Structure formats: structure tokens, C-alpha cells
């Protein structure tokens, strides 16, 4: 059955994504918006991306419009740009030559994270009409990211909240096509189009008050619940990454039984398939914790005042935990497999693992040295300066680190490897200790110890 656009009544059929493609939405509809309105409402996806793009990259979400996940680009103090994808930091490819005319018709040294990245970049310059010639190539060195990442995220601004209303309206139209064309929703449509102010239509909800009905096996990253109350008031609640949660009051609909429909979305699903990318939980007469504009303001002020954990740090922590667990599992398996092998094989495995953990080891070094400087503000200036050298970036070096930092890192790696061996010998190498080694105080101490021993020995007596 062909449908008409819920906003203007012209024929629908734009194949819009129900949940935005950029957030891993895999389902499309041809029954909600006309082409023109679908295109115009694309600004809402842009607003959501502006706030949440980093999390997409950290989770490895592939947009439905792309073949692979899009990394998040960050620029560090030295001006170098990095790509973040899942828990990997890679040097970002140079900007296109059309944006850097100063490099055209001359030779320059450019950094790439890999040969593949170079060929890909060169190919895309060729498509732009430039000929790239490789004169020489230096040994590939791992790049270190000397962070920290500064995320500037805008939550809860007018655009973000309008985008939440757009999502809610789209899902209401999906589940209740007739109701979506009723006059009781006119006001929210004007709001979604940007023609009415937000007022109290969209509010924050404390994520701890929301109960999920989804089974543990389905990995729900987002959800959208549409609620029709007795009497016809309709709402939608949208939750991103398990921690950013808002309710929108959509308006009044008639002739629909009270119901609650939640769509759980797994944004890392590769394609649309039953129980893979979405699960729908439909409950006649059901209700959820909708909160209210007043409670929303209270929640926000508690977040700002630090009384409640910040939802963004909660999401980052959950992502870190997920990456860490995967890492620990892989390392454990390789160490277990190596057990019983000859000594040199075991040592090679250990060296390999430690090299792969270079970035984490550098992070330990960075944290440890920074805290040491912070705690000892009375250190003489020359000592401070030399300590700072141990973690100093250098954008001209292939590794991105100063010579002193690279030497310290190598020492730190040895300390890290020794700690793994020690734990293994004492039968203390568990998933828990491995986690503390990769991302906790145990690892930080192990890395710092030999570095500071060296440092002390180098000081004039
Ligand atoms: Zn339209």
C-alpha cells in the first residue's frame, strides 16, 4: 500500500532509515516521508552525529551507507591528527592535496599509519588529478598517541533535542501509520521542522530508572520506545549507548489502544536479520518510566553538580571495559597456548604481546610521570623539565615521541614484560590481574619502576 508523507501528504517512498544509518540503523521504510522531507530532516542526523560520533567510532559502528566503520578524527597539541577506531589510535592520512596547495609540485615528508593507508591516499589524490610519486620510504614505526583526547560534545542543545523528537515521530509513524497523520501531532511536526520552539517537549531521563526487557544475548546499543497512554497522549523515549536517555511528548492520538513498543537496536549488527539488528518488545497497556520535564531538570543539575555519574563518562567506561575484556581474553589465550612450549617460543610470544600493548604502556608512563610531576610541585625546574621529556611528543619523529620518551617507553616495556613473567611464575596471572596490568595501577607501577630507576641513576650525585 502506498503511503503519503506524514508531514505534507505528498507521496512517500524515500526509503528513509528508521534509525539513522550513521548509527548502524539497518531498516528502511518507504511509508513515512516524501523525498523532500526525508532530505530536509537529514539535519537531525547531523546534530546527533555532532554529539555522538566519537562513540560510534569507539564502538566500531558501520554506517549503513558505508562499507567500513568511520574513524573519529582528533587533533593533538602538536597539530598531528589521529584516527580513533575502537581502541586503536592511528595517524590520520594527510589532508587531500587540493586542501594543501603548499605541498603541490614539491617533495615533502608525510606520515602514514601503514602502506595500505599510503596507497589509498595516493589513489584518491590521483582521482583528484594529482600525481603522487614516492621518492623514499622510511622504516615503518609504530605511532604513539600522546593524547589526551578532548571531546567537545554538545548534548541537550536545541538541535539535539529536535533530533530526538524526529526519531520519536518516525517510530510512531512506523508503528501507528494512521495515528501519525492525525491533527494531534501537528505541533510536534512543526517542532521537528524547526518552526516551533522546544519548550518542555523533550526532557532528560535518569538512565538508572529505565528497565530493559531485552535478553542478555542481544547486544542493544540504543532503543526507541513509543508509548500510547490511556486517553491518547503519546510519547517516545530514546536511549543512546545505554546512558543518554530522553523522553519526548509527541501529542495526542485517537483510536489507538494503550501500548508500549520498544525497538532495541544493535548498532554493530552487520545487516538486517531477525533478532540480529533489532528486537521489538510490544506490550499492550504497558508503561515505562517517562519522567517529566521537572525530573529531567533535576537529573541534569545532579549530573552537572557531580551527584550522579556523568552519562558520557559512563559510556566511555563501558566502552573501555569492553575493549579491555576483549584484549585480556586474547592475551590470556596466547599465553596459555604458549605454556609448555620451549622457552624461546614463550619469550617471543611475550615480546609480541608487549609490543602490541605499546600504546597502553605509553599511557601508563604518561599517567605515572604526569602524576609524579603534579604531586611534587617543589621539584627543581631542571628535574621537572627532564621528567617532562620522558613523555614528550615530537611530531617530527616517525614514532611521534621524543628520543627520551621512546627510550623510556622501551624501558617501560621491559618492566611490563617482567611483571607478566613474575605473575605467571607465581600462578597469579588471572583475568583480573591482567586487567590491572593493562589498565590499572599494577601496570602503571610495573612500567614506571625501571624508568624511574634509570632516571635516578642519571641524576648527578
Ligand atoms: Zn513531505
What is the rounded average pLDDT of the residues 129-153? 78
CA of 76 to the centre of ligand 1 (A): 43
The full length of the chain comes to 461
CA of 169 to the centre of ligand 1 (A): 14
Of 66, 92, 127, the position where a domain reaches its end is: 127
Residues 322 and 240 in one domain: no
CA of 352 to the centre of ligand 1 (A): 57
Of 304, 338, 367, the position where a domain reaches its end is: 304
141 in a domain, yes or no? no
3 in a domain, yes or no? no
Q: Is 403's pLDDT higher than 90? A: yes
Tell me the DSSP string of 148-185.
--------SSHHHHHHHHHHHHHHHHHH-TTGGGSGGG
- Using one digit for the tens of pLDDT, what is the confidence trace for 345-372? 999 999 999 999 999 999 999 999 999 9
Establish whether the linkage from the previous residue to 171 is cis, with ω within 30° of 0.
Answer: no
CA of 29 to the centre of ligand 1 (A): 14
pLDDT at 150: 67
Residues 122 and 271 in one domain: no
CA of 185 to the centre of ligand 1 (A): 15
Where residue 34 falls among pLDDT bands split at 50, 70, 90?
very high
140 in a domain, yes or no? no
CA of 174 to the centre of ligand 1 (A): 15
The residue range of the domain holding 355 is: 311-458
CA of 200 to the centre of ligand 1 (A): 26
Residues 281 and 353 in one domain: no
CA of 11 to the centre of ligand 1 (A): 8
Where residue 252 falls among pLDDT bands split at 50, 70, 90?
very high
pLDDT at 89: 83
251 in a domain, yes or no? yes
pLDDT at 334: 95
Residues 267 and 179 in one domain: yes
CA of 9 to the centre of ligand 1 (A): 6
Which of 61-75, 148-162, 292-306, 373-387 bottoms out in mean pLDDT, i.e. has the lowest? 148-162
Contact 202, 164 (CB under 8 A): yes
CA of 5 to the centre of ligand 1 (A): 5
Q: What DSSP element (H or E) covers 282?
A: strand 278-284
Contact 390, 146 (CB under 8 A): no
4 in a domain, yes or no? no
CA of 4 to the centre of ligand 1 (A): 8
Residues 232 and 169 in one domain: yes
CA of 170 to the centre of ligand 1 (A): 13
121 in a domain, yes or no? yes
143 in a domain, yes or no? no
- Using one digit for the tens of pLDDT, what is the confidence trace for 218-239? 999 999 999 999 999 999 999 9
- Using one digit for the tens of pLDDT, what is the confidence trace for 88-123? 888 899 999 999 999 998 898 888 888 888 999 999
Whole-angstrom distance, CA of residue 453 vs CA of residue 438: 21
Residue at grid coordinates 605509553: 362
Residues 89 and 162 in one domain: no
Residues 194 and 227 in one domain: yes
- Using one digit for the tens of pLDDT, what is the confidence trace for 406-422? 999 999 999 999 999 99
Q: Largest Cα–Cα distance of the chain, in whole Å?
A: 87
Phi, psi of 62 (to 5 degrees): -100, 125
Residues 320 and 427 in one domain: yes
- Using one digit for the tens of pLDDT, what is the confidence trace for 278-319? 999 999 998 899 999 999 999 999 998 999 988 988 999 999
Domain count, the chain: 3
9 in a domain, yes or no? no
Residue at grid coordinates 501500548: 259
Kindly give the interhelix angle for 441-458 and 358-375, rounded to the nearest 10 degrees: 70
Mean pLDDT of the chain: 92
Amino acid at each position: 500500500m502506498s503511503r503519503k508523507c506524514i508531514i505534507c501528504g505528498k507521496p512517500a517512498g524515500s526509503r528513509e532509515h528508521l534509525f539513522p544509518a550513521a548509527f548502524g540503523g539497518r531498516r528502511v521504510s518507504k511509508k513515512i516521508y516524501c523525498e523532500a522531507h526525508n532530505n530536509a530532516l537529514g539535519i537531525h542526523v547531523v546534530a546527533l552525529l555532532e554529539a555522538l560520533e566519537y562513540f560510534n567510532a569507539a564502538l566500531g559502528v558501520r554506517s549503513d551507507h558505508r562499507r567500513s566503520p568511520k574513524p573519529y578524527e582528533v587533533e593533538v597539541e602538536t597539530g598531528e591528527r589521529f584516527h580513533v577506531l575502537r581502541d586503536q589510535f592511528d595517524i590520520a592520512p594527510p589532508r587531500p592535496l587540493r586542501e594543501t596547495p603548499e605541498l603541490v609540485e614539491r617533495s615533502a615528508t608525510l606520515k602514514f599509519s601503514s602502506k595500505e593507508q599510503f596507497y589509498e591516499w595516493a589513489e584518491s589524490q590521483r582521482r583528484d588529478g594529482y600525481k603522487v610519486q614516492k621518492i623514499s620510504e622510511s622504516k615503518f614505526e609504530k605511532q604513539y598517541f600522546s593524547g589526551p583526547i578532548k571531546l567537545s560534545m554538545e548534548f541537550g542543545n536545541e538541535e539535539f533535542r529536535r533530533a530526538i523528537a524526529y526519531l520519536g515521530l518516525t517510530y510512531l509513524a512506523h508503528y501507528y501509520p494512521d495515528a501519525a497523520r492525525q491533527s494531534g501531532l501537528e505541533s510536534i511536526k512543526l517542532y521537528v521542522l524547526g518552526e516551533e520552539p522546544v519548550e518542555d517537549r523533550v526532557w532528560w531521563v535518569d538512565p538508572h530508572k529505565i528497565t530493559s526487557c531485552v535478553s542478555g544475548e542481544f547486544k542493544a546499543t540504543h532503543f526507541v520506545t513509543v508509548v500510547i497512554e490511556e486517553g491518547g497522549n503519546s510519547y517516545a523515549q530514546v536511549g543512546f549507548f545505554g546512558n543518554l536517555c530522553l523522553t519526548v511528548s509527541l501529542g495526542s492520538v485517537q483510536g489507538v489502544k494503550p501500548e508500549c513498543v520498544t525497538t532495541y537496536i544493535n548498532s554493530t549488527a552487520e545487516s538486517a536479520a531477525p533478532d540480529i539488528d533489532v528486537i521489538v518488545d510490544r506490550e499492550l497497556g504497558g508503561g515505562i518510566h517517562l519522567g517529566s520535564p521537572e525530573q529531567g531538570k533535576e537529573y541534569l543539575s545532579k549530573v552537572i553538580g557531580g551527584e550522579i555519574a556523568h552519562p558520557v563518562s559512563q559510556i566511555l567506561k563501558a566502552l573501555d571495559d569492553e575493549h579491555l575484556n576483549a584484549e585480556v581474553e586474547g592475551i590470556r589465550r596466547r599465553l596459555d597456548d604458549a605454556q609448555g612450549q620451549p622457552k624461546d617460543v614463550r619469550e617471543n610470544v611475550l615480546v609480541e604481546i608487549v609490543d602490541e600493548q605499546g600504546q597502553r604502556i605509553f599511557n601508563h608512563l604518561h599517567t605515572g610521570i604526569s602524576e609524579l610531576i603534579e604531586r611534587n610541585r617543589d621539584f627543581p625546574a631542571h628535574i621537572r623539565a627532564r621528567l617532562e621529556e620522558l613523555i614528550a611528543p615530537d611530531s617530527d619523529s616517525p614514532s611521534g615521541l621524543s628520543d627520551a620518551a621512546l627510550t623510556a617507553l622501551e624501558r617501560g616495556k621491559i618492566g611490563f614484560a617482567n611483571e607478566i613473567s613474575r605473575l605467571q611464575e607465581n600462578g597469579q596471572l588471572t583475568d583480573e590481574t591482567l586487567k590491572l596490568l593493562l589498565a590499572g595501577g599494577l601496570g602503571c607501577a610495573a612500567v614506571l619502576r625501571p624508568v624511574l630507576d634509570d632516571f635516578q641513576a642519571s641524576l648527578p650525585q
